[in-house]
Structure 1
Amino acid sequence: MARIFITGSADGLGQLAAKALIKQGHQVVLHARNAERAKRAFDKVPGAGDVLTADLSSIDETKALASKVNALGKFDAVIHNAGVYQVSRNSVHADGLPVLFVVNSLAPYILTCLIQKPERLIYLSSGMHLQGDPNLDRLPVGTQGRNSHVTYSDTKLHDVILSMAIARKWTDVFANAVDPGWVPTKMGGAGAPDNIEKGFQTQVWLAVSNEPEARVSGYYFHHKRQAHYLPAAKDAGAQEQFLARCEQITGVLLQ
């Protein structure tokens, strides 16, 4: 039995992955944005071990979430599933940074740095990362991000960059990124054409499977197959630039 923590598991693909893992006999801890969503998540996912709350658009709450996770002991896998898509272009959190960037890019970085190192790390990206801007000079500096323009595609590229950086630096961990496809969730919309079952199966597989194909690191998967990703994500210089900017903004160092 493996222990898995899944961010953004109150609904959507995170919730479906949690249910599938619990059905397989694994212990799953959920995450929700607030207490109300946490209660609903617990009701919808029978057998979940616990549900932790944190608003990932807050750097401080994300740091606190890492402490809550560590208080429960070491996990075998962490699935960085949480993400936002439809927010106002000018939506800025109290930290002074674009919400898209804080939730989709900074939160996985902070949690990766602060949660006790698991055996497996899975980062949810998107095929839209291919349209992301590999020029990281445009990232927010400190909390002076109010006028920064960061797109959803940019943040999903950041997730691939982070996964590749972790795979390079932490050789004792399996770290990979996943494109779940355009599936009919609240984020994807009812008309999304991809298969909802395939949308969460790759995360589940990477989290617990002992198949040799799943016990790899530094890859980008779509429906359990290695897929093409933006080559810039593999560049060590780009990875170090991204990590340095995240450290500068959050005050959290990747050891």
Structure 2
Amino acid sequence: MNRERNRTALVTGANRGIGLETVRQLDLAGLEVVLAARDLTRGRAAARGLNSPRIRVEELDVTDAKSVAACADRLADDEVEVDVLVNNAGIYPTVSFFSLDEDVMRRALDVNLMGAFHTCQTFCPGMAQRGYGRVVNVSSGLGALTENVPSPAAYGISKAALNALTLVVAAAVPQSVKVNAVCPGWVRTHMGGRGAPTSVEDGADTVTWLARLPDSGPTGGFFRNRRRIDW
């Protein structure tokens, strides 16, 4: 039997785009997958389109610690252990810095940074205790300090902070738990737009690769097209 059939992945923001494609690819790889979405109705509709008995839908608002805890409790009640966490939920505000109001900035940080903070604090201790885990934070080259000034302002700053969180969590868990960030590129999704050069399948490829790393795989890195890139 494929060992991965015993693994369960939870993907946030998974009712469309890269998140949904990640669910599809992980399901095809034989993992049990929790499709987590803020809107349960949309999550269920997305899961019906994939039509797999290995996909479970959960309501999860990553900005709300109580919602994350409630989801974890429901999974625990059903004896579901999260081995792989894909922090995909995100928003893309494009307002320039001097037009940026505090509410937009806080919302970007709440979703893009605090969402991963909540889920990592909730699910990573169990991974460490069981001696296996994979965490993939879906970031962006637009948050890379060495490539450019993080931009657009709220988005870039929040993704730079997500990259920092990746390093912090990687240092806080044992080597058996691999924690990495990924830049999927400019992808043809609702967020990326129809003119983006990268297909959603290719955009999710490095995400699912990191989610299935072998025990000898890297941790504490930032990747694009399965290659390490600078922070």
Band of TM-score, shorter chain: 0.7 to 0.9
What do residues 80-101 of structure 1 show as CA deviations (whole Å, max 9, x unaligned)?
11101148744749xxx82111
Alignment CA distance shift 1:90-1:55 (3 Å): farther
Confirm whether residue 105 of structure 1 aligns to residue 113 of structure 2.
yes
1: CA distance, partners of 2:71 / 2:159: 22
1:144-155 matched pairs, under 5 angstroms: 151-155=154-158
2: CA distance, partners of 1:70 / 1:106: 22
SS in 2 for 1:113: helix
2: CA distance, partners of 1:183 / 1:191: 9
Q: For 2:70, which of 64, 82, 94 is the aligned residue? A: 64
2: CA distance, partners of 1:164 / 1:13: 23
Confirm whether residue 167 of structure 1 aligns to residue 174 of structure 2.
no
Normalised to the residue count of structure 1, the TM-score between the two structures is 0.74
Confirm whether residue 205 of structure 1 aligns to residue 209 of structure 2.
yes
1: CA distance, partners of 2:169 / 2:11: 18
Q: Is the 8 A contact 1:18 1:28 kept in 2?
A: yes
1:178-193 matched pairs, under 5 angstroms: 178-193=182-197
Normalised to the residue count of structure 2, the TM-score between the two structures is 0.81
Following superposition, the deviation at residue 182 of structure 1 comes to 0.7
- What's 2:38 paired with? 33
Confirm whether residue 49 of structure 1 aligns to residue 55 of structure 2.
yes
Which segment is superposed worse, 42-51 or 59-68?
Answer: 59-68
Instruction: Give the gaps of 5 or more residues in structure 1.
Output: 134-149, 230-255
What do residues 134-171 of structure 1 show as CA deviations (whole Å, max 9, x unaligned)?
xxxxxxxxxxxxxxxx7110111111111111111212
- What's 2:230 paired with? 228
Q: Is the 8 A contact 1:15 1:45 kept in 2?
A: no
Tell me which amino acid in the other structure corresponds to 2:139. Answer: S
Instruction: Give the gaps of 5 or more residues in structure 2.
Output: 128-132
SS in 2 for 1:217: coil
Alignment CA distance shift 1:69-1:164 (3 Å): farther
1: CA distance, partners of 2:82 / 2:158: 25
Q: For 1:127, which of 116, 127, 141 is the aligned residue? A: 141
Tell me which amino acid in the other structure corresponds to 1:120. Answer: R
Tell me which amino acid in the other structure corresponds to 2:157. Answer: D
Alignment CA distance shift 1:108-1:71 (3 Å): farther
What do residues 59-89 of structure 1 show as CA deviations (whole Å, max 9, x unaligned)?
4333433433444432221111110114874
SS in 1 for 2:198: coil
CA RMSD of aligned residues (A): 2.3
- What's 1:81 paired with? 88
Following superposition, the deviation at residue 25 of structure 1 comes to 1.5
Of all paired residues, the percent bearing the same amino acid is 27
Q: Is the 8 A contact 2:136 2:181 kept in 1?
A: yes
Runs of 4+ deviating beyond 6 Å: none
2: CA distance, partners of 1:100 / 1:46: 32
Following superposition, the deviation at residue 10 of structure 1 comes to 0.4
